[in-house]
Structure 1
Amino acid sequence: MASTFLKAIGGLAVLGAAGFAAFVVVTAPDRQELSTWANQGDADLENGRSVFFAGGCSSCHAPAGATGDARLVLSGGAPLKSDFGSFHAPNISSDAEHGIGAWTLAEFGDAMTRGVGRDGEHLYPSFPYGSYARMTPKDINDLYGFMKTLPASDAVAPPHELGFPFNQRVLLGGWKLLFHTSEPRVELTDASDMVKRGQYLVEGPGHCGECHTPRNALGGFESDKWLAGGPNPEGEGTIPNITPGSKSMGSWSESEIVAYLETGFTPDYDSVGGSMVEVQKNMAELSASDREAIAAYLKAIPARD
């Protein structure tokens, strides 16, 4: 009987190893086709600047508390705390050794849209590639071109502080299989060009859902509660509902949303607070038409309680 038992254990071990090997193959990092990035030409730096602020790059990657031009030094920011541990935003400055100055457009694009690092590793979704996946190759090319004009820094960010099993990057392939998609977050029928532009900005570079949409136990969006608010993914407090069903913002007009994004003042003359302060600073850098598009989209999506 002992021999039979050992054989059974051995068989299970072989099956387990085979299953894990299959998992690794199926969920291996998936790069974009190189043709995706071919023939992009010279970057449109003005558009790249706009994409930079829409994407909130400095909010995470500039030094904590940075103001003015220091917000353009992307040396790595304050830790992003979560239920899974603390993530440290890396140096993404133009420094060739410590930043991403020596990366190719394809390497940068794979990180942005597929969550794949330069060395072929899975990136943690604390970097919102789940939203950036909707960005166009042109916008990514223009963004990278603009970022290469910014100051270089030789700072080195500390490693992530994650316990087991979250420190096992191989498992991120399974997370991507479950949650990573470039499909629209909401289906909008007969949407105007302005609403479509707003959808692109909110669901893509603006990555608004990363904070304003509640998540399940594995960190994936609860898709039926898009932008309905929920617990603050970084710790204390809550993030508000910004759909038309919101008790606070649901009654705001499009023009009032536009004014809030530009000035930081609500219709009742309160001012923006918390982590939204940095977001509003970025929104103020966008064109008036882009702020109007964001507002049009937020009024067009389904209302959630």
Structure 2
Amino acid sequence: MRIVLGIALALLMSPAASETLVERGAYLVGSVMVCHNCHTPRGPQGFDMSRALSGGQTFDEPAFKVTGSNITPDKDTGIGKWSDAELKHFLVSGVRPDSTKVAPIMPTGFYTVLTARDLDALVAYLRSVPAVPHEVPAPEYRIALKPEVPTYAGKQASEAELADKLARGRYLLTIAHCLECHTPEGPSAVHDFAKASGKGGRTFKGPWGESRSPNITSHAQSGIGAWSDDEIKRAITQGVARDGHKMKPPMAYAGYATMSPQDLDALVAFVRTLPPRE
């Protein structure tokens, strides 16, 4: 009986047999990795999907001022001239084909865990979207940026290990780069992953005003240790906190609302294992 249940769980957690690479890539871009959050222009009513992924939000930080790049297949202003190998290398290294390094607001450090299939899927999907000509401003770097190795990142995952629920949750938490926003930064724009991973406290300014990332560790008072699974899911997918107040962006609630039930369950299960931080 246990063997049968194990096989059933593995099948449930593995990629659907009928799912194409483009479909998988669309799911990753639009749901788990929420790439539109930075790379699609925002209008008064939200994302301008007629110009999807053509370059979006500007981040004006003490360390840099950068705008989300055009990642459509446009050959002049997007990634149309990049080879598949160059695009995959960029996703896990942050190094462009011209050898320049991207600002750390692009969470390539987290993407080091992407499976080979998911890298193929991302490339296939980005090749399939409409090319949109749109030149974004050149990046401005104000201080030397130090490399980071985020918590749970650094090693490519395999499809086989994602059959385990907690391993899959860890993978999803990582490629969704949750700890990028929910870990405070110290000097020189470097995250304190060693001592404060998941503690929250980063401030974000945008059209929504100002928001501050909450503590998502298992701490019973400061974090979400006392929350139910449904309360955590509601916060992720609807932006409603345990006490009922509406939370602000840049958390991409609408994107996370399209995550599969199995992935959402796995993500919540792993979030519960984050060591408590106060």
Select 2:262's aligned residue among 285, 289, 299.
289
Structure-2 residue corresponding to 1:98: 77
For 1:126 and 1:146, the matched residues in 2 are separated by 22
For 2:48 and 2:65, the matched residues in 1 are separated by 27
Select 2:224's aligned residue among 232, 236, 249.
249
The structure with the greater share of residues assigned to helix is 1
Structure-1 residue corresponding to 2:49: 70
Is 2:211–2:248's contact at 8 Å kept on the other side of the alignment? no
Structure-2 residue corresponding to 1:180: 149
- The two structures, once aligned, show a CA RMSD in angstroms of 2.6
Q: 1:271 offset after TM fit, Å?
A: 2.6
Q: 1:138 offset after TM fit, Å?
A: 1.3
For 1:182 and 1:249, the matched residues in 2 are separated by 19
Structure-2 residue corresponding to 1:60: 38
User: Cα–Cα, structure 1 residues 68 and 210, in superposed 2: closer, same or farther, change >3 Å?
Assistant: closer
For 2:248 and 2:51, the matched residues in 1 are separated by 22
User: Cα–Cα, structure 1 residues 192 and 298, in superposed 2: closer, same or farther, change >3 Å?
Assistant: farther
User: Cα–Cα, structure 1 residues 208 and 57, in superposed 2: closer, same or farther, change >3 Å?
Assistant: same
Q: 1:112 offset after TM fit, Å?
A: 0.8
For 1:284 and 1:292, the matched residues in 2 are separated by 12
The alignment of Structure 1 onto Structure 2 pairs a total of residues equal to 246
For 1:137 and 1:160, the matched residues in 2 are separated by 29
Structure-2 residue corresponding to 1:82: 61
User: Cα–Cα, structure 1 residues 83 and 234, in superposed 2: closer, same or farther, change >3 Å?
Assistant: farther
Structure-2 residue corresponding to 1:210: 180
For 2:112 and 2:241, the matched residues in 1 are separated by 31
Is 2:168–2:267's contact at 8 Å kept on the other side of the alignment? yes
Amino acid at match of 1:47: R
User: Cα–Cα, structure 1 residues 271 and 227, in superposed 2: closer, same or farther, change >3 Å?
Assistant: same
Amino acid at match of 2:240: F
For 1:131 and 1:201, the matched residues in 2 are separated by 10
Q: 1:75 offset after TM fit, Å?
A: 1.2
Secondary structure of the residue aligned to 1:87 is strand
User: Cα–Cα, structure 1 residues 71 and 289, in superposed 2: closer, same or farther, change >3 Å?
Assistant: farther
Structure-2 residue corresponding to 1:261: 236
Q: Please give the per-residue CA displacement for 1:168-218, whole angstroms capped at 9, x wherever unaligned.
A: xxx55xx22xx2368549xxxxx9921211111112x20011110012212
For 1:134 and 1:269, the matched residues in 2 are separated by 34
Q: 1:125 offset after TM fit, Å?
A: 1.2
Identity %: 29
For 2:100 and 2:109, the matched residues in 1 are separated by 16
List runs of 5+ in structure 1 lacking aligned partners: 1-41, 186-190
For 1:70 and 1:47, the matched residues in 2 are separated by 19
TM-score (norm 2): 0.79
Residues 1-305 of structure 1 aligned to structure 2 (within 5 Å): 44-52=21-29, 53-65=31-43, 67=46, 70=49, 73-163=52-142, 166=143, 171-172=144-145, 175-176=146-147, 179-180=148-149, 184=153, 193-203=164-174, 205-223=175-193, 224-232=195-203, 237-245=211-219, 246-247=221-222, 249-276=224-251, 279-305=252-278
Amino acid at match of 2:37: S
User: Cα–Cα, structure 1 residues 181 and 104, in superposed 2: closer, same or farther, change >3 Å?
Assistant: farther
User: Cα–Cα, structure 1 residues 46 and 72, in superposed 2: closer, same or farther, change >3 Å?
Assistant: farther
Q: 1:85 offset after TM fit, Å?
A: 3.1
For 2:239 and 2:118, the matched residues in 1 are separated by 26
Q: 1:283 offset after TM fit, Å?
A: 0.6
Q: Please give the per-residue CA displacement for 1:68-93, whole angstroms capped at 9, x wherever unaligned.
A: 67176111112112121321111111
Is 1:72–1:150's contact at 8 Å kept on the other side of the alignment? no
For 2:214 and 2:173, the matched residues in 1 are separated by 15
User: Cα–Cα, structure 1 residues 85 and 92, in superposed 2: closer, same or farther, change >3 Å?
Assistant: same
TM-score (norm 1): 0.73
For 1:249 and 1:47, the matched residues in 2 are separated by 30
User: Cα–Cα, structure 1 residues 237 and 273, in superposed 2: closer, same or farther, change >3 Å?
Assistant: closer
Structure-1 residue corresponding to 2:16: none
For 2:204 and 2:48, the matched residues in 1 are separated by 28
User: Cα–Cα, structure 1 residues 239 and 265, in superposed 2: closer, same or farther, change >3 Å?
Assistant: closer
